[in-house]
Structure 1
Amino acid sequence: MRLLIMGPQGVGKGTQAAKLAEHYGIPTISTGDIFRFNIKNKTELGLEALKFIDKGELVPDELTNRIVEDRLGQDDAKNGWILDGYPRNASQVEALDGILAKLGTPLSAVVALDADHDVLMERMKKRAEIEGRSDDTPEAIAKRLDVYAKETAPLLDTYEQRGLLVKIDGVGDIDAIQANIVSALDAR
């Protein structure tokens, strides 16, 4: 099973990706984790990414695409994976299509979690209190949700047109949400 998990920040993508990875016995691949791993291990890709991160800039799509391609080609991803945090824009969708074609591994489904704006704001406010995350200020949260709405949410239409989209309500009991996802995926 090769899945994308998408949705706005605070909707529970990371939580559900971890539960699905355990259920299906496949790795969760988070672009943030990939960057941290490559930087920590001082790989060529990690050192290249660090040049942008150190300047407070976003890592360019071209480099992000190369890092994702490298990760999807590793042995533990041969039988499937859950990709969290990628693609974020139309050019990354195109790049992912090329990567999957090269690997001969088509996408199985795209899980789209959704929740009301107020619910997301409240969840991230709580997360900031619990985890002490400095990037979860009301202003930063609002900006990230706006960027998601403008750049990433439109990608869901692309995947819906391809017949890959599975829409799931991201509000409620965590285990019930997971059960809804598994049920929808297994019914495909």
Structure 2
Amino acid sequence: MLNFVLFGPPGAGKGTQSEKLIEKYQLIHISTGDLFRAHIKNQTPLGQKVSQFIADGQLVPDGITIDMLEEEVDKNPDAKGFIFDGFPRTIPQAEVLDEFLASKGSGIAGVIAFDVDQEELTKRVAIRQKESGRVDDQADKIQKRIDEYFNKIIHVLPYYDAQNKLTRVNGIGNIDEIFNTICAVVDKY
């Protein structure tokens, strides 16, 4: 299985590049944010549990996130691979993901981290909020999510760097050029 983690703050381009990767490599995209939003929209019991965390710009507890992610992987037993977007956010989550994938005879092939500066992120998210109306893209909440990334989540990168799985990609520029850079990484596996 060809499994990748896309890493970056809100607005870095993970969703945009995921769409292109799915089309080219026939991978299954698992975005914890998208899954949470779908559960909230459908008012599932899980959605009711996580809605307040997301509304406040906080991380959903590991147990809920991991259970949901494992369920999504299990729904796709014939997948060529997965793109994990928004997960893992902590080293314990990364370790659990490694253990879970190992139990399936697989693992993370690589981690692609998008480097985008704060000014560009703020611009992109403002545009995205106008276009999509996402509740979690409102100015007060988005800054909290960006700060969360740079203060906490980014500390997962050394975990993958120590395994020689981390590649940093400049996330600013032409979408197709960024995609070609990502494909060069994916094609190594």
Residue 95 of structure 2: aligned partner: 94
C-alpha displacement at 1:30, in angstroms? 1.1
Tell me, yes or no, if the aligned pair for 1:31 and 1:85 is still in contact at 8 Å: yes
**Runs of 5+ in structure 1 lacking a partner?**
none
> Partners in 2 of 1:41 and 1:144 — Cα distance?
23
> Partners in 1 of 2:154 and 2:47 — Cα distance?
28
> Partners in 2 of 1:72 and 1:97 — Cα distance?
13
C-alpha displacement at 1:166, in angstroms? 1.3
C-alpha displacement at 1:60, in angstroms? 2.0
Q: 1:39 to 1:102 in 2, by over 3 A?
A: farther
C-alpha displacement at 1:72, in angstroms? 1.3
Cα deviation, 1:33-78, whole Å, max 9, x if unaligned, reads 3335556778xxx52x234235x13532112111111211223553
TM-score, normalised on structure 1? 0.87
> Partners in 1 of 2:147 and 2:158 — Cα distance?
17
Structure 2 residue identity aligned to 1:70: E
Cα deviation, 1:103-131, whole Å, max 9, x if unaligned, reads 11111111111111111111112222333
> Partners in 1 of 2:157 and 2:145 — Cα distance?
17
Tell me, yes or no, if the aligned pair for 2:28 and 2:79 is still in contact at 8 Å: no
Q: 1:111 to 1:133 in 2, by over 3 A?
A: same
Q: 1:108 to 1:139 in 2, by over 3 A?
A: same
Residue 18 of structure 1: aligned partner: 19
Q: 1:50 aligns with which of 26, 40, 47?
A: 47
Q: Which of 158-167 and 24-33 deviates more?
A: 24-33
Please identify runs of 4+ aligned residues in structure 1 that moved more than 6 A: 39-42
C-alpha displacement at 1:182, in angstroms? 0.3
Tell me, yes or no, if the aligned pair for 1:2 and 1:106 is still in contact at 8 Å: yes
TM-score, normalised on structure 2? 0.86
% same residue: 37
Q: 1:131 to 1:38 in 2, by over 3 A?
A: closer
Residue 132 of structure 1: aligned partner: 133
Tell me, yes or no, if the aligned pair for 2:32 and 2:69 is still in contact at 8 Å: yes
Report the secondary structure of 1:11's partner residue. Answer: coil
Tell me, yes or no, if the aligned pair for 2:115 and 2:170 is still in contact at 8 Å: yes
